[in-house]
Chains A and B, each alone.
Chain A
Amino acid sequence: MVDTLTPVLTANWGAERSWTLESYEQHGGYRALKKALTMAPDDIIAAVKDSGLRGRGGAGFPTGMKWSFIPQDNPKPKYLVVNADESEPGTCKDTPLMMASPHTLVEGVIISSFAIRANKAFIYVRGEILHVIRRVQNAVEEAYAAGHLGKDIHGSGFDLDIVVHAGAGAYICGEETALLEGLEGRRGQPRLRPPFPAVAGLYASPTVINNVESIASVPSIIDHGAEWFASMGTEKSKGYGIFSLSGHVTRPGQYEAPLGITLRQLLDLAGGMRKGPDGQPRQLKFWTPGGSSTPLLTAEHLDVPLDFESMGEVGTMLGTRALQLFDETTCVVRATLRWTEFYKHESCGKCTPCREGTWWLAQTLAALERGEGSESDLDLLLDQCDNILGRSFCALGDGATSPISSSIQFFRDEYLAHLTHGGCPFDPAASTAWADKATAGARA
């Protein structure tokens, strides 16, 4: 029986100066690299395939399969690009990982590049996390100095250079082809597919793009074996993952556990929902399983396993395991409007449904939140969502519809209450981090 929490990626985060090469190596770091360099690259790909690792950036595409799509007979250079543009609302796992243990990522990059025969890798970090960028830059420098990077790494004949690339503020660059555009110095607008990046990605060359956590998981798979990884998690959602709890929970933070854990289990570890002025835990009203682009769930879904399949069965997605928890003090219309404004702000502008649709959705929702408009606007919103979902160029438009469709599904009455109340019936002060502490006199 696997333990409830299984720290692997997070295991060394508490170590003294954990971000340094010295600390990382003291805790077994770069052991997997040494092993990998003795393996045939195809065997590494096979190990990652066998482990069942699925992309940790949200989509859950099997990582090993992605690697095997790289046409090795293509004479062009191959590239590995790490998607460290962590921007999905609620998602906050890659950022602490890179801050506390950037070498885990760097080691993963080296092994992964070796596997796909890439001699140049890029880590595209969103620009808004300065200290994380310092730590990753430093880790790359240290790795060069230690001979983990550069020419003929540890006598293997394998060369690798890593460039740390700072983004500049665009959620859409989390979409892999938009990220490539950003990395090529262009506007981050998604590309037409096919060709897929595996065939023609960065500089029209075969390119693998993986999330930070996916790549960071590779050293442990190589170190301990595919079976070890696969012994965690569920049948089709194998291994461990970082679950990020935030919001109205007693102990928000990072919890690394096998996929398939439930929110009830996590919430229990996290001390339950925060307590109200009466000292009793507040009620879980709604939550996102994997960021704001994954349709909302409610307390009735507390026991649904947090894995790709089970989340799909209840009409949502596992996403990035960004569990944002909201209690009954939160107005779901306000929450949805704010997310919608986010998508409007981040829509790249390329395609009509997303660009114009989010503009319109935000206006309709804003009116409803003010208590204006009519009940028919709810059906109009759903119809607009229907005209965006699957009609947009990329998944950003789809994501924009998730909070709206799901919140109307679960909380239609609350929308109507805004109309009857002539505005928002909630007190925003009640949902703040300090609301109940203020009552309790604990505010520092």
Chain B
Amino acid sequence: MALDEKTYGELREIAGRYPEARSGLLPMLHLVQSAEGRVTPEGIQACAEILEITPAEVSGVATFYTMYKRRPVGDYHVGVCTNTLCAVMGGDEIFSRLKEHLDVGNDETSEDGKITLEHIECNAACDYAPVVMVNWEFMDNQTPESAVALVDDLRAGKEVTSTRGPRLCTWREAERVLAGFPDGRVHEGPAAGGPSLVGLGIASERGWTAPAGSGSTGQPLAGSPAEVAHKTDTSQEAEAAAVEEEAPTSTTAAEKKEAQ
């Protein structure tokens, strides 16, 4: 089945963003996935035609990058980080629980077509380990129980919100954003999660700053400690409370506020 005219037009639009059209291939393949649910031979052919390269060259690219899928992906791509740190922190256990719970193997889709499970490599959220990604949105500090609840909610069609991001969209909708077509969810979710702010909080508490500079205000960019204190993701409360209990000696005022 050939791609529709709208998709063709958008593929051409992507190619047009770059000084040389072929640069558009990665986002174009994201768009193919959004339209087709995977990288299809038709999608490969369309990219090849638009970029005036061979289907073999497109195939070479499509099979190199792990985000491109040749088998249909479910509504939700659930990626469990099993790189060393997350694995040690519990990612391995989460992954095996989900395999069992969904009755799938790695890179397989649940029978209802909702969830594709995959173990993934480090996703740059190590301070929130163990990390699960749903459609490449962060689900931080997971446990086997929270992960099972997460996939159950997704399968039940409940609205789920990223722990550090927006309400989850489908995998195909996410792929469209990766192709460079924003979905309007940019302002959802916090600026940062607790761990992202931990150093800043300590500095604010202790009055530590970078040296005064020669800039027009004489002060480096800074948010006020109060702002910092309000920015903590509420889902981290229990965690923060636990931290506070266990680390009384170094608990800062900022962190106490976080825990409230």
Find B202's partner among A5, A232, A248, A348 (CB 8 Å cutoff): A5
**Complex interface bits, A89-132 against B, C-beta within 8 A gives 1, otherwise 0:** 11110111001110010000000000000001000001111110
Kindly identify, within residues 174 to 218 of chain B, every residue whose CB is under 8 Å from any CB belonging to chain A. 174, 177-180, 182-183, 185-187, 189, 191-204, 206-211, 213-217
Find B136's partner among A128, A165, A220, A268 (CB 8 Å cutoff): A128
Find B198's partner among A11, A100, A251, A335 (CB 8 Å cutoff): A251
B85 touches A3 (CB 8 A): no
- How many Å lie between the Cα of A243 and that of B246 in the bound state? 23
B-side contacts of A186, CB under 8 Å? 22, 25, 60-61
Question: Is B12 in contact with chain A by the CB < 8 A criterion?
Answer: no
Given the known interface contacts A231-B211, A338-B83, the answer about A134 and B61 at a Cβ–Cβ threshold of 8 Å is no
- How many Å lie between the Cα of A358 and that of B161 in the bound state? 38
Question: Is A326 in contact with chain B by the CB < 8 A criterion?
Answer: yes
**Complex interface bits, A243-260 against B, C-beta within 8 A gives 1, otherwise 0:** 111111011111111000
Given the known interface contacts A269-B199, A342-B84, the answer about A247 and B89 at a Cβ–Cβ threshold of 8 Å is yes
B-side contacts of A314, CB under 8 Å? none
A-side contacts of B138, CB under 8 Å? 129, 131
B195 touches A342 (CB 8 A): no
Closest to B88 in A: A431
A130 touches B165 (CB 8 A): yes
A224 touches B199 (CB 8 A): no
B-side contacts of A96, CB under 8 Å? 192-193, 196
Question: Is B10 in contact with chain A by the CB < 8 A criterion?
Answer: no
**Complex interface bits, B219-260 against A, C-beta within 8 A gives 1, otherwise 0:** 111111101111100000011001101110111000100000
Count chain B CB atoms within 10 A of each CB in A18, A134, A186, A346 and give the residue with the most.
A134
- Nearest chain A CB to B212 CB, angstrom units: 8
Count chain A CB atoms within 10 A of each CB in B51, B194, B197 and give the residue with the most.
B197
A-side contacts of B17, CB under 8 Å? 163
A89 touches B122 (CB 8 A): yes
- Nearest chain B CB to A179 CB, angstrom units: 11
Closest to A184 in B: B23
- Nearest chain A CB to B243 CB, angstrom units: 6
Question: Is B30 in contact with chain A by the CB < 8 A criterion?
Answer: yes
Kindly identify, within residues 65 to 119 of chain B, every residue whose CB is under 8 Å from any CB belonging to chain A. 65-68, 79, 82-85, 87-90, 92-93
Question: Is A185 in contact with chain B by the CB < 8 A criterion?
Answer: yes
Closest to A27 in B: B221
B126 touches A92 (CB 8 A): yes
Given the known interface contacts A14-B228, A89-B85, A130-B165, the answer about A252 and B209 at a Cβ–Cβ threshold of 8 Å is no
Question: Is A225 in contact with chain B by the CB < 8 A criterion?
Answer: yes
- How many Å lie between the Cα of A192 and that of B252 in the bound state? 51
Closest to A130 in B: B136
Kindly identify, within residues 128 to 159 of chain B, every residue whose CB is under 8 Å from any CB belonging to chain A. 128-130, 133, 135-138, 141, 143
- How many Å lie between the Cα of A95 and that of B24 in the bound state? 23
Kindly identify, within residues 20 to 62 of chain B, every residue whose CB is under 8 Å from any CB belonging to chain A. 20, 22-27, 29-30, 51, 60-61
Closest to A336 in B: B84
B199 touches A254 (CB 8 A): yes
Find B196's partner among A32, A228, A232, A254 (CB 8 Å cutoff): A254
- Nearest chain A CB to B226 CB, angstrom units: 9
Number of A-B contacts (CB under 8 A): 385
Closest to A222 in B: B215
Count chain B CB atoms within 10 A of each CB in A92, A129, A243 and give the residue with the most.
A92
B123 touches A324 (CB 8 A): no
- How many Å lie between the Cα of A18 and that of B189 in the bound state? 12
Given the known interface contacts A8-B220, A166-B27, the answer about A338 and B84 at a Cβ–Cβ threshold of 8 Å is yes
Please report the total number of A residues contacting B with Cβ < 8 Å: 123
Please report the total number of B residues contacting A with Cβ < 8 Å: 112
A-side contacts of B135, CB under 8 Å? 130
- How many Å lie between the Cα of A169 and that of B26 in the bound state? 10
- How many Å lie between the Cα of A25 and that of B243 in the bound state? 34
Query: Which listed segment binds B: A60-68, A147-155, A270-278, A410-418?
Result: A270-278
Question: Is A2 in contact with chain B by the CB < 8 A criterion?
Answer: yes
Given the known interface contacts A77-B19, A170-B65, the answer about A254 and B127 at a Cβ–Cβ threshold of 8 Å is yes
B-side contacts of A257, CB under 8 Å? 199
B124 touches A129 (CB 8 A): yes
Find B124's partner among A87, A272, A330, A428 (CB 8 Å cutoff): A87
B210 touches A240 (CB 8 A): yes
Find B246's partner among A165, A231, A250 (CB 8 Å cutoff): A250
Count chain A CB atoms within 10 A of each CB in B60, B64, B164 and give the residue with the most.
B64
B61 touches A185 (CB 8 A): yes
Find B243's partner among A223, A251, A338 (CB 8 Å cutoff): A251
Question: Is A292 in contact with chain B by the CB < 8 A criterion?
Answer: yes
Query: Which listed segment binds B: A36-44, A374-382, A394-402, A432-440?
Result: A432-440
Question: Is A52 in contact with chain B by the CB < 8 A criterion?
Answer: no
B-side contacts of A271, CB under 8 Å? 243, 247, 249-251
Given the known interface contacts A12-B222, A166-B26, A188-B65, the answer about A339 and B84 at a Cβ–Cβ threshold of 8 Å is yes
Question: Is A29 in contact with chain B by the CB < 8 A criterion?
Answer: yes
- Nearest chain A CB to B186 CB, angstrom units: 4
A-side contacts of B223, CB under 8 Å? 11-15, 18, 27
B227 touches A17 (CB 8 A): no
Question: Is A16 in contact with chain B by the CB < 8 A criterion?
Answer: yes
B85 touches A90 (CB 8 A): yes
- How many Å lie between the Cα of A431 and that of B91 in the bound state? 11
Question: Is A443 in contact with chain B by the CB < 8 A criterion?
Answer: yes
Provide a sorted-by-A list of 22 A–B residue pairs whose CB atoms are within 8 angstroms: A3-B203, A10-B200, A13-B197, A18-B231, A27-B221, A31-B217, A94-B124, A96-B193, A185-B24, A186-B61, A220-B210, A223-B214, A240-B210, A253-B194, A271-B247, A271-B250, A339-B83, A339-B84, A342-B121, A432-B88, A433-B89, A434-B143
Q: Which B residues are closer than 8 A to A by beta carbons?
A: 17-20, 22-27, 29-30, 51, 60-61, 64-68, 79, 82-85, 87-90, 92-93, 120-130, 133, 135-138, 141, 143, 162, 164-166, 174, 177-180, 182-183, 185-187, 189, 191-204, 206-211, 213-217, 219-225, 227-231, 238-239, 242-243, 245-247, 249-251, 255
The 6 closest A-B pairs by CB, nearest first: A224-B213, A14-B228, A185-B25, A253-B195, A253-B198, A255-B199
